[in-house]
Amino acid sequence: MSLPSSVTVHAPATIANVGCGFDVLGICLTAPYDTVRLTRRDQPGLVIRHLDNYDLPTDPYRNVAGAALLALLREVPEPIGFEVEITKGIRPGSGIGSSAASAAGAVVAANALLGNRFDNKKLVDLAMYGEAVASGVRHADNIAPAVCGGFTLVRAVQPVLDVVALPAPPLWVAVVHPQFEVKTREARAVLPTQVPLSLAVRQWANVGGLVAGFLTHDSELISRALEDYIVEPARAALIPGLADAKQRALAAGALGGGISGSGPSIFMLNQNEATAHAAAEAMGRVYQKMGIEFHLHVGPIASEGARVVSVN
Amino acid sequence: MSLPSSVTVHAPATIANVGCGFDVLGICLTAPYDTVRLTRRDQPGLVIRHLDNYDLPTDPYRNVAGAALLALLREVPEPIGFEVEITKGIRPGSGIGSSAASAAGAVVAANALLGNRFDNKKLVDLAMYGEAVASGVRHADNIAPAVCGGFTLVRAVQPVLDVVALPAPPLWVAVVHPQFEVKTREARAVLPTQVPLSLAVRQWANVGGLVAGFLTHDSELISRALEDYIVEPARAALIPGLADAKQRALAAGALGGGISGSGPSIFMLNQNEATAHAAAEAMGRVYQKMGIEFHLHVGPIASEGARVVSVN
């Protein structure tokens, strides 16, 4: 059986942090997604094109998919390269894992072209080089769910990457993306460097509770455990409308939620599709009243991450 | 059907913290256990006797079982009281939940005499009054597993007690109790009041990992996630032989472990009975060489907590 010459992957948006789980927890959405098409070249090097209007760099060293693929090619003995066509379905800077999706999609597509020689853990490790281009840090909290799907725990990045991939809890996610910018650097700068031990204990109680709630499908526990005592209070001032949007979504029946990644998107978890739509619309009305443009996304937590949708 | 007049309960030892889960996680052992026998009196008040040689207070307000029962009797409209006979099987000050066992055993026995009108959450809440007598703090990290069995997460104590009772993972516990004293007050005093956010993140990643490992029976994940970056490093100097005992137990095949509660006992988790015995003996040899008396305990994580063993 010969290997394909061209592969197209859908690489979904993801929610990092998931309330209490700063830098550690992530969940995978079904949409929006980036479409990444890779075609094998019989000579080394990458040629990258963006079929969208976001004016992203196409220099392989500065493109998130490019950086991830360069890392992957360093592990491949054959003198091959790729033509890369990326169509962003996820708006850059939205806080729902836009750069992670392109990087994850690229390595998943390359892996399919190479006969699936890398496992998911290795693909996460490679795609993290893309995140380093986007944010300066090789972090995995969006990459892990974008590759593995479901619900992921990045237990450690150093000295050895330790990604725990867990089954998707049967929940629906409502996301509002208000159209203002939160600079990742600023979102990092407002974080405390030291936290009271008493507060850290409450936070890790919630992380344990959220993991238990997801694995045992205990919606009430999930609802109680989502609360972030440390990071969201520090970042709330960067997201106008946050408190109001959360409150309206809770009133519409959502279980809980918070800032997606470092924002500006806000996510809420819900027990079913109808509640997720109601929560999204409730959040949208908050931004409508504030005169801020927004986009809404509603879908289940996806059991699968970036996946091959066509092969030639 | 008339209610019994006398009930005997076995109330087991417990491990609080469980590595990374300071103040939050607990597991229940099968042995050692306290035996608590309650007999109904048709007049208010408690009469407490200790059938052991530990010279513990028998004044109901100063006895851990007494304080828990007084809290319980405040919730009961009938003008009744109890005769209480306690036989400590768990040495006071061992760090494996000795006071929690007596308090838990007392309220479980009283509940049986009263037709089981209280649920486990309420019993934990009541037994915590016993812990307040013992340590000055109404904490639940030993009480919860002593009442509920298995593996417990105390997600919150204030404003509302939130205990998550989870199934016992199929693991065996090795405990060494070296015969020196660690004062709970001193063990609290050495803790940092502030911790670096970066370290807190690593700790909550481990708490999430340990909960996931316990629920999915992933021994390798449990082994990686047990590590405590914050509390054990601060307390290690209070437990001579700790590092050596852990290292020898790991070499004997244990998955990991650490200080039980605030010590001096050290626990190690193991995949099977044979490894647990080997780990216990390896830790015992460390204290033998140091010329420190010790006791060993080996048993599975118990699925059941304090339980009625006879009724009259």
Q: Is the pLDDT of residue A205 over 90?
A: yes
* B:157-196 residues touching chain A, CB 8 A cutoff: 162, 164, 166, 191-196
Tell me how long chain B is.
Answer: 312
Token code pair at residue A308: 């091959």
The 10s digit of each residue's pLDDT in B47-78 is 999 999 999 999 999 999 999 999 999 999 99
- Residue B1: per-residue pLDDT: 58
- Residue A138: per-residue pLDDT: 83
Are B202 and A162 in contact (CB < 8 Å)?
Answer: no
First-last CA distance in chain B: 13
Opening angle at CA A151, ends A146 and A153, nearest 5: 90
* Reduced 3-state DSSP string for chain B: CCCCCEEEEEEEEEEECCCCCCCCEEEEEEEEEEEEEEEEECCCEEEEEECCCCCCCCCCCCCHHHHHHHHHHCCCCCCCEEEEEEECCCCCCCCCCHHHHHHHHHHHHHHHHCCCCCCHHHHHHHHHHHHHHHHCCCCCCCHHHHHHCCEEEEEECCCCCEEEEECCCCCEEEEEEECCCCCHHHHHHCCCCEEEHHHHHHHHHHHHHHHHHHHHCCHHHHHHHCCCCCHHHHHHHHCCCHHHHHHHHHHCCCCEEEECCCCCCEEEEECCHHHHHHHHHHHHHHHHHCCCCEEEEEEEECCCCCEEEEEC
B39, B40, B45, B46: CA torsion to nearest 10: 10
Q: Which of A55, A62, A112, A53 is nearest to A82 (CA)?
A: A112
- Letter string b/e over residues A89-107, b meaning 16 or more CB atoms within 10 A of that residue's CB: bbbebbbbbbbbbbbbbbb
- Residue B194: per-residue pLDDT: 98
Distance CA(A126)–CA(A203), nearest Å, equals 30
- The residue of chain B with its CA nearest to that of A20 is B204
pLDDT band at A185 (very low <50, low <70, confident <90, very high): confident
- The residue of chain A with its CA nearest to that of B225 is A155
Pairing of strands B45-50, B81-87: parallel
**Residue type for B115, please?**
G
Contact B147, B305 (CB under 8 A): yes
Nearest to B153 among A25, A203, A212 (CB): A212
Tell me how long chain A is.
Answer: 312
How high is the mean pLDDT of chain A? Answer: 96
Distance from CA of B56 to the nearest CA of A (A): 31
Tell me whether A227 touches chain B (CB under 8 Å): no
Contact B107, B68 (CB under 8 A): yes
The 10s digit of each residue's pLDDT in A34-63 is 999 999 998 999 999 999 999 999 999 999
How many whole angstroms from its chain centre is CA B5? 28
Q: Which of A216, A296, A213, A285 is nearest to A255 (CA)?
A: A213
The 10s digit of each residue's pLDDT in B223-240 is 999 999 999 999 999 999
Instruction: Please provide residue A155's backbone torsions phi and psi, each rounded to the nearest 5 degrees.
Output: -70, -35
Distance CA(A230)–CA(A185), nearest Å, equals 18
Max Cα distance, chain B (Å) = 59
Are B225 and A155 in contact (CB < 8 Å)?
Answer: yes
Are B197 and A192 in contact (CB < 8 Å)?
Answer: yes
- Residue A74: per-residue pLDDT: 96
Domains, chain B:
6-167+302-311 (3.30.230.10), 172-300 (3.30.70.890)
Are A164 and B212 in contact (CB < 8 Å)?
Answer: yes
Catalytic pick among B85, B131, B232, B275: B131
Instruction: Please provide residue B270's backbone torsions phi and psi, each rounded to the nearest 5 degrees.
Output: -145, 155
ω into B32 cis (within 30 of 0):
yes
Neighbours of B299 (CB within 10 A): 18
Q: Which of A95, A84, A70 is nearest to A40 (CA)?
A: A84
- The residue of chain A with its CA nearest to that of B164 is A209
Nearest to A221 among B164, B208, B230 (CB): B164
- Residue A1: per-residue pLDDT: 58
Distance CA(A282)–CA(B1), nearest Å, equals 55
- The residue of chain B with its CA nearest to that of A208 is B208
Whole-number Cα distances in Å, A156 to A18, A24, A44, A141: 17, 8, 33, 10
- The residue of chain B with its CA nearest to that of A191 is B197
In DSSP notation, A187-214 reads HHHTS-SEEEHHHHHHHHHHHHHHHHHH
- Letter string b/e over residues B43-65, b meaning 16 or more CB atoms within 10 A of that residue's CB: eeebebebeeeeebebebeebbb
Three-state DSSP class for residue A297: strand
pLDDT greater at residue B266 or residue A136: B266
Distance from CA of A160 to the nearest CA of B (A): 11
Q: Which of B84, B81, B105 is nearest to B28 (CA)?
A: B105
- The residue of chain B with its CA nearest to that of A209 is B155
**Which residues in chain B are contacts of A201 at CB distance < 8 A?**
22-24
How many whole angstroms from its chain centre is CA A113? 24
Which residues are A14's β-sheet partners?
A: A28
**Which residues in chain B are contacts of A195 at CB distance < 8 A?**
194-197, 200
Contact B298, B174 (CB under 8 A): yes
- Residue B2: per-residue pLDDT: 78
For residue A158, what are the contacts with CB-CB under 8 A and spacing of at least 6? none
Nearest to A209 among B153, B194, B216 (CB): B153
Pairing of strands A172-178, B151-156: unpaired
**Residue type for A18, please?**
V
Are B201 and A164 in contact (CB < 8 Å)?
Answer: no
Distance CA(A190)–CA(A98), nearest Å, equals 22
Residue whose token pair is 């050692």: B32
Contact B221, B137 (CB under 8 A): no
pLDDT band at A135 (very low <50, low <70, confident <90, very high): confident
Nearest to A208 among B211, B218, B230 (CB): B211
Tell me whether A201 touches chain B (CB under 8 Å): yes
Catalytic pick among B83, B87, B184, B227: B184
**Residue type for B124, please?**
V
Three-state DSSP class for residue A53: coil
Distance CA(A218)–CA(A266), nearest Å, equals 22
Neighbours of A142 (CB within 10 A): 33
Residues with pLDDT less than 70, chain B? 1
Distance from CA of A202 to the nearest CA of B (A): 7
Distance from CA of A51 to the nearest CA of B (A): 38
Instruction: Please provide residue A203's backbone torsions phi and psi, each rounded to the nearest 5 degrees.
Output: -65, -45
Token code pair at residue B202: 């690593």
Distance from CA of A162 to the nearest CA of B (A): 9
ipTM reported for the complex, 2 dp:
0.96
Residue whose token pair is 């094109």: A49
Q: How many CB pairs under 8 A join A and B?
A: 127
Nearest to A204 among B24, B193, B212 (CB): B24
Catalytic machinery residues of A: 131, 184
Residue whose token pair is 């995978």: A28
Tell me whether A140 touches chain B (CB under 8 Å): no
Instruction: Please provide residue A105's backbone torsions phi and psi, each rounded to the nearest 5 degrees.
Output: -60, -40
Nearest to B200 among A155, A162, A203 (CB): A203
**Which residues in chain A are contacts of B196 at CB distance < 8 A?**
193-195
Q: What is the number of alpha carbons within 13 Å of residue B81 lying toward its C-beta?
A: 12
A301: DSSP letter: B
